[in-house]
Amino acid sequence: MELFANQVLAGIATGAIYACMALAVVMIYQAIDHLNFAQGEMAMFSTFVSWQLMQWGVPYWGAFVLTVAFSFAAGIVIERLLFKPLAKAPILTNVAGFIALYAIINSVAGLIWDFTIKQYPTPFGSSPFLGSQLISTHQAGMIGITLLMLVLLFFFFRFTRVGLAMRAAASLPESARLVGINTSWMIALGWGMAAAIGSIAGMMIAPVVFLEPNMMLGVLIYGFAAAVLGGLTSPFGAVMGGFLVGIFENLVGTYIPGVGNELKLPIALALIIVVLVVKPAGLFGRAIVKRV
Amino acid sequence: MTTMLNVKDLRAYYGQVQALHGLSFSLNEGSLTTLLGANGAGKTTTLRAICNMVRSTGAIEFEGKPIGTRSTENVVRLGIAHVPQGRGTFTNMTVEENLQLGAISRPDKKAIGSDIERMYEHFPVLKQRYTQQAGTLSGGEQQMLAVARALMLRPRLMLLDEPSFGLAPLIVRDLFRILGKINREEKVTILVVEQNAQLALELADQAYVIETGRIVMSGNAKDIANNEDVRKSYLGY
């Protein structure tokens, strides 16, 4: 029983990484109705920017704020330059765009900062959290930040006019224009917010996985799995999905013989497929009721 | 009487296909005008061209200002509310959120709450369901919601695209009664596109008849309703 409890706790700790990333995934899905495959690379690049700032002597939280602001602006610029021209193109064209963006950002980061693994600091320290060896203060801090972002997003979408306009633009662009919403800018704003959230995810994840251009490869797939499990339409679901994927992954690794580190990634992929077949809206996603 | 909307030589295209062939008409301020015609005559296209949702040429003036080059959202922000065919309900949001969205481009945020209350007076059924997901409303209720959402803009001009479509006759009567009331009491100029010519002519004071992208008849709604030749050849009743 203690083994079980410990594994759940460790699962929550890894799950925090996925939850953080899943939040960014859901954000962009809300805005553009697609998954952005370059999301992880954008987060990685932002993390490098913050690392560079710290190398130049900017204190942690200063670098944190500057990076979030930079990422928000960069997200908007990427949308304006690359994806606004593709707004009316078929989905596959957009997907090609995402993959191109993925490759470009990955190579540029490698070019600027090379591929050696770098240490990344944490503001929360890395001592055991409340005396538990399974969860560190950094992981606890990461969970706290993720939950804080979740609460802020909830209030933003539920109680602000911009949040309402963004939801409208995402769900029914034509009707949104007919109530006077500039849908094109709402999409740009969605990119900016997703990039900002992604940058926070990156800065939280980097102390765990270490900083290098490919750090997000696995994390993004888990982030997708978490978002699909929780429901792509629900930020709350995405965070819960993240923790569940983390717990699930740990329990399977512990109790099913033969599943070691090598088979952990296929578990995430299998989870995506099972959820999509059994409950496509995810655990917390809003199934859209339509009367015809 | 002043002219609110003036449309001259409007031509609209879907790709290579021309849907409107030089349409001209005008709406007087405070009037309730209906645009009649058979399926495929170009009624919906006319409304879509006013809001710049389809490629078109020609001159469209709203209160003396040309609006032909404005984007859809900027046309709407002038005070032109458009209730589209199929109602355009935000089905995954609540009734109240739909109403708030109607007012989202308005600068005067303070009056929104009282306007929502006013909509509940016009449409009591919406009040009972204000926390309900709008997609779960019946067709008639969704049409009421669409009209209420459009009114939340405090429009000067309201364009309605076949509001009677798919509704039971009693509900259509109810809806048209409310439209007449809004036109009189809230001083909203209304252009309603209809296939249900008989009812629309009872409601409207002006009427245009459109056939294959051209205006073929215009005049006082009563005169058109009483002209048997027109009724038989264009309106089919």
pLDDT tens for each residue of B172-219: 999 999 999 999 998 999 999 988 888 899 899 999 999 888 998 899
**B108 phi/psi in degrees, rounded to 5:** -85, 90
Taking CB atoms and an 8 Å limit, are B135 and A180 in contact across chains? Answer: no
Pairwise CB contact (< 8 Å): B101 & A165: yes
Greatest pairwise CA separation for chain A in angstroms: 61
Closest residue, chain B, to A288 (C-alpha): B92
Nearest-Cα distance to chain A for B225, in Å, is: 32
Chain B: give the shortest CA distance to residue A285, in Å: 12
Q: Which two tokens stand for residue A46?
A: 């932002």
- Would you state the pLDDT for residue B108? 86
CB contact residues (below 8 A), chain B span 96-115, against chain A: 97, 100-102, 104-105, 109
CATH of the domain at B48: 3.40.50.300
Q: Which of B84, B93, B138 sits opposite A178 (nearest CB)?
A: B84
Q: What is the pLDDT, as a whole number, of residue B237? A: 66
Residue A230 located in a structural domain:
no
For residue B67, which of B127, B125, B4, B121 has the smallest C-alpha distance?
B4
**Residue B94 DSSP label:** B
Instruction: Please answer whether residues A142 and A17 qualify as being in contact, where contact means their C-beta atoms are separated by less than 8 angstroms.
Output: yes
Pick from A178, A187, A289 the residue to mutate for testing the B interface (most B CBs within 10 Å): A178
The count of structural domains within chain A is 1
ipTM above 0.85, yes or no: yes
Per the structure, the count of domains in chain B is 1
How close is the nearest chain B Cα to the Cα of A34, in Å?
18
Within-domain flag for A14: no
Taking CB atoms and an 8 Å cutoff, what residues of chain A touch B76?
177-180
pLDDT band at B27 (very low <50, low <70, confident <90, very high): very high
- pLDDT tens digits for range B146-164: 999 999 999 999 999 999 9
B130 occurs within a structural domain: no
Residue A81 included in any domain = yes
What is the domain extent for residue A27?
A: 20-216
DSSP state of B232: I
Q: How far is A39 from chain B (nearest CA, A)?
A: 26
Which of A172, A182, A183 is the closest to B90 by Cβ?
Answer: A172
Residue B9 resides in a domain: yes
Residue A172 inside a domain? The answer is: yes
Distance of CA A133 to the CA centre of its chain: 26
- Check residue A261 and give its pLDDT: 67
Q: Residue B52 region, left (φ>0) first, then alpha (ψ -120 to 50), else beta?
A: left
Q: Do A175 and B88 touch (CB under 8 A)?
A: yes
Q: Is residue A110 included in any domain, yes or no?
A: yes
Residue ranges making up the domain that contains B11: 3-87+155-235
Name the minimum distance, in Å, from the CA of B223 to any CA of chain A.
Answer: 34
Write out chain A residues lying below 8 Å of B82, CB-based. Answer: 178
Reduced 3-state DSSP string for chain A: CHHHHHHHHHHHHHHHHHHHHHHHHHHHHHHHCCCCCCHHHHHHHHHHHHHHHHHCCCCHHHHHHHHHHHHHHHHHHHHHHHHCCCCCCCHHHHHHHHHHHHHHHHHHHHHHHCCCCECCCCCCCCCEECCEEEEEHHHHHHHHHHHHHHHHHHHHHHHCHHHHHHHHHHHCHHHHHHCCCCHHHHHHHHHHHHHHHHHHHHHHHHHHHCECCCCCHHHHHHHHHHHHHHCCCCHHHHHHHHHHHHHHHHHHHHHCCCCCHHHHHHHHHHHHHHHHHHCCCCCCCCCCCCCC
pLDDT digits (tens, 9 = 90+) for B96-148: 999 999 999 988 888 999 999 999 998 998 999 989 999 999 988 999 999 99
**Alpha helix positions (H), B10-110:** 43-50, 72-77, 95-102
Whether pLDDT at B29 is above 80:
yes
Share of chain B above pLDDT 70, in %: 98
CB distance B163 to B85 below 8 Å? no
The structure tokens listed for A241 are 């999905």
- In chain B, count H helices and then E strands: 10, 10
Rounded to a whole number of angstroms, the distance between the first and last alpha carbons of chain B is 32
Nearest to B105 among A179, A286, A290 (CB): A179
B96 domain residue, yes or no: no
The beta-carbon neighbor of A179 closest among B92, B104, B136 is B104
Tell me the percentage of chain B whose pLDDT exceeds 90.
66
Residues A178, B76: C-beta atoms closer than 8 Å: yes
Distance separating alpha carbons of residues A23 and A147, to the nearest angstrom: 10
Asked whether residue B139 is assigned to any structural domain, the reply reads: no
Q: Which residues contact A183 (CB under 8 A, 6 or more apart)?
A: A169, A173, A176, A177, B73
Considering only CB atoms, B100 lies closest to which of A164, A174, A289, namely A164
Contacts of A6 (CB under 8 A, 6+ apart): A134
Chain A residue with CA closest to B76: the answer is A180
Task: Note whether residue A60 is domain-resident.
Answer: yes
Q: How far apart are the first and last CA of chain A?
A: 51
Q: List the beta bridge partners of residue B193.
A: B35, B161
Instruction: Give the C-alpha separation, A258 to B211, whole Å.
Output: 74
Structure tokens at B168: 């039971």
HEC string of B167-195?
A: CCHHHHHHHHHHHHHHHHHCCCEEEEEEC
Which residues of chain A fall below pLDDT 50?
292
Cβ–Cβ of B153/A180 closer than 8 Å?
yes
Across the interface, of B73, B77, B88, the residue whose CB is closest to A172 is B88
- pLDDT for residue A289: 53
Cβ atoms within 10 A of the Cβ of A26, count?
31
What residue in B sits closest to A289 (Cα-Cα)? B135
How far off is chain A from B19, nearest CA to CA, in Å? 20
Whether the pLDDT of residue B45 is over 60: the answer is yes
